[in-house]
């Protein structure tokens, strides 16, 4: 009977850590699919300060040169983002619920 009780307990899915790199004034990958609850690890390999700024206002992260910053995705949707200091740096996150 105990085995049946423990077998019925649902194990929650683990959130993933997604790495997005800024190097040579480019976000890589430029398009990625994630889920609410996933952690984004923003890795700036450039010698410049960069931002990851959502066009819809969902996030605005500043990443110093040669540093890594993390943030957790809290809202589903398709989010276009860019660097405020280098507006040609653009990318898209597709965030599933």
Q: How do residues 65-77 score in pLDDT, each as one tens digit?
A: 999 999 999 999 9
Q: How do residues 7-37 score in pLDDT, each as one tens digit?
A: 444 444 678 999 999 999 999 999 999 999 9
Distance CA 90, CA 80 (A): 7
> In terms of pTM, does the model score above 0.85?
no
The sheet with strand 31-35 has its strands ordered as: 31-35, 90-96, 77-82, 50-54, 60-63
Are 37 and 72 contacting, i.e. CB atoms less than 8 angstroms apart? yes
Q: Is the N-terminal amide bond of 29 cis, ω within 30° of 0?
A: yes
């Amino acid at each position: 009977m105990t085995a049946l009780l423990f077998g019925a307990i649902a194990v929650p899915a683990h959130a993933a850590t997604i790495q997005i790199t800024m190097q040579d004034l480019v976000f890589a990958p430029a398009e990625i699919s994630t889920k609410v609850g996933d952690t984004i690890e923003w890795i700036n390999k450039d010698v410049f300060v960069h931002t990851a700024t959502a066009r819809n206002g969902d996030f605005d992260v500043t990443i110093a040169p040669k540093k890594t910053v993390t943030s957790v995705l809290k809202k589903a949707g398709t989010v276009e983002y860019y660097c405020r200091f280098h507006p040609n740096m653009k990318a898209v996150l597709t965030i599933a619920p």
